[in-house]
């Protein structure tokens, strides 16, 4: 018998060929020699979770990184076999693997397919050679296109491509050319991210040193609006802030995050949310491997000894998470459900929701609260006020120009 609440599984592969300047993911460019030990550790971690996850049906698996496509087909097969051995994986589960164009080959893709992967998410980022160089990417536009053909040839019918806009000195033309070409390839799913300068990255250092000037926010806003219109016209649904999909091709794994479902994270630096706890696994691959070689059992009764930070989700956090994640989705959130589940916390933020409705940042259809296009563009303005409702002035003085 299985619980109705869906469960997702995330497996983190911490290896990359080079480290991109903007990247703050838990990935390392010089640790590939650890991949054998990493695999053994991850296999063991999956096994340790099996008892705890018993009775829950795994609906999605996401092998992310880093660059999972650096792994061979048989390594992925061992991972997924273990997953199926230790968890109840739904027969129609979505199983995604992240790839970078330069490590894609038709053989590997066939291997992944045979192992059970049914969705590939590839980091294309841009098709402009200067932009690719700026981002430290190893591939060319031609390689990206060829990689997509190889993925298709291996039988994948569900493919996502990642793109990045809002680069320093971003010109609208280069973005338009990239997007037009990619749209012509008809991927089932597109993620279009505005470049974020993350702390402690080489990019942040270059910005701080004045060597790189961040893109004009108005230009970025312009591009975002155009992108949404263009992709909608091309038949993609803008179902989340940065995500677009053809009908029925939304990423079920990410949807589960945004809907605050449970997920188990395995591998160095992975995050999980399970039974009212949020946790993270130790980030350093060597430490991860070492810890999994030790006795079983992690903190707070969680099964993995590599789990490091644990946070119990308070009522308030649960509500804030539900709102700040759910409102990124076009579908929005079910207000009545939230009010029923977190009545006290809900009362605290009610005036913020009213303000968002009053100022046309949000709209309500029956019990469903969703953001307007304007609300989506400035969503953080709503979210900070949800996080700290005292930021909002009393309703009477509010007026919008």
Element holding 191 (H helix, E strand): strand 189-194
Tokens found for residue 281: 């696994």
69 binds another protein (CB under 8 A): no
Choose which of 220, 266, 338, 352 interacts with another protein (CB under 8 A): 220
Count of residues in contact with ligand SF4, rule CB under 6 A: 11
For residues 47-66, which are near ligand SF4 according to CB under 6 A? Answer: 65-66
27 binds ligand SF4 (CB under 6 A): yes
Shortest CB 224 distance to another protein, Å = 6
User: Candidates 142-150, 281-289, 300-308, 392-400 — which segment interacts with another protein by CB under 8 A?
Assistant: 392-400
Q: What is the DSSP letter of 134?
A: H
d(CA 363, CA 332): 10
Nearest in space to 288 (alpha carbons), one of 24, 30, 26: 26
Tokens found for residue 232: 């909608």
Chosen from another protein, ligand SF4, none, partner binding at 387 (C-beta under 5 to 8 Å by type)? another protein
Residues in the chain: 401
Element holding 219 (H helix, E strand): helix 217-233
378 binds another protein (CB under 8 A): yes
386 binds ligand SF4 (CB under 6 A): no
User: Candidates 34-42, 82-90, 112-120, 194-202 — which segment interacts with another protein by CB under 8 A?
Assistant: 194-202
Chosen from another protein, ligand SF4, none, partner binding at 66 (C-beta under 5 to 8 Å by type)? ligand SF4
**364 C-beta neighbours (distance < 10 Å), count:** 13
d(CA 349, CA 239): 25
List, in order, residues 6 or more apart from 1 with CB less than 8 Å away: 55
Rg for the chain (alpha carbons), in Å? 22
Nearer to ligand SF4, 25 or 185 (CB): 25
Spatial contact of 361 and 324, defined as CB atoms under 8 Å apart: no
Nearer to ligand SF4, 25 or 274 (CB): 25
122 binds ligand SF4 (CB under 6 A): no
Nearer to another protein, 74 or 360 (CB): 360
d(CA 49, CA 297): 10
Taken in order 386, 277, 58, 288, the sign of the CA dihedral is positive
Instruction: Please provide the DSSP assignment of 262-290 as one string.
Output: EEEEESTT-EEEETTEEEEE-S-HHHHHH
126 binds ligand SF4 (CB under 6 A): no
Q: Residue numbers of the site for ligand SF4 (CB under 6 A)? A: 16, 19-20, 23, 25, 27, 65-67, 100, 123
Q: Residue numbers of the site for another protein (CB under 8 A)? A: 10, 12, 25, 64, 193-196, 217-218, 220-222, 224, 241-242, 254, 257-258, 263, 265, 270-273, 278, 280, 309, 311, 317, 320-321, 324-325, 328, 359, 361, 376-381, 383-385, 387-388, 390-391, 393, 397-401
């Amino acid at each position: 018998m299985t619980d109705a609440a869906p469960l997702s599984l995330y497996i983190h592969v911490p290896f990359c060929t080079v480290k991109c300047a903007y990247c703050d993911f838990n990935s390392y460019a010089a640790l590939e020699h650890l991949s054998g030990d990493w695999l053994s550790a991850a296999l063991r971690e999956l096994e340790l979770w099996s008892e705890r996850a018993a009775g829950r049906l795994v609906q999605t698996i996401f092998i992310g990184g880093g660059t999972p496509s650096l792994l061979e087909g048989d390594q992925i097969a061992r991972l997924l076999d273990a997953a199926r051995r230790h968890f109840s994986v739904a027969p129609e589960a979505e199983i995604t693997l992240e790839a970078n164009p330069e490590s894609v080959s038709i053989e590997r893709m066939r291997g992944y397919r045979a192992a059970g992967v049914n969705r590939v998410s590839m980091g294309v980022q841009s098709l402009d050679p200067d932009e690719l160089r700026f981002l430290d990417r190893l591939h060319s536009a031609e390689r990206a296109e060829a990689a997509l053909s190889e993925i298709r040839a291996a039988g994948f019918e569900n493919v996502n491509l990642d793109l990045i806009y809002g680069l320093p000195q971003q010109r609208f033309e280069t973005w338009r050319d990239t997007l037009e070409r990619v749209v012509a390839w008809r991927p089932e799913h597109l993620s279009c991210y505005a470049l974020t300068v993350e702390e402690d990255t080489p990019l942040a250092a270059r910005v701080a040193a004045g060597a790189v000037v961040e893109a004009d926010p108005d230009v970025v806003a312009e591009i975002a609006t155009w992108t949404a219109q263009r992709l909608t016209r091309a038949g993609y649904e803008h179902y989340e802030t940065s995500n677009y999909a053809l009908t029925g091709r939304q990423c079920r794994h990410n949807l589960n995050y945004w809907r605050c479902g449970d997920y188990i994270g395995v591998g160095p630096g992975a995050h999980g949310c399970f039974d009212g706890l949020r946790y993270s696994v130790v980030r350093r691959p060597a430490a991860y491997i070492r810890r999994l070689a030790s006795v079983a059992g992690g903190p707070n009764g969680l099964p993995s000894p590599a789990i490091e930070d644990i946070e119990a989700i308070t009522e308030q956090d649960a509500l804030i998470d539900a709102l700040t994640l759910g409102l990124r989705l076009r579908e929005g959130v079910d207000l009545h459900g939230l009010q029923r589940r977190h009545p006290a916390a809900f009362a605290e933020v009610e005036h913020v929701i009213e303000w968002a409705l009053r100022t046309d940042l949000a709209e309500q259809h029956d019990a469903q609260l969703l953001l307007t296009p304007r609300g989506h563009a400035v969503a953080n303005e709503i979210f900070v006020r949800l996080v700290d409702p005292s930021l909002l002035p009393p309703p009477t003085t509010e007026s919008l120009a």
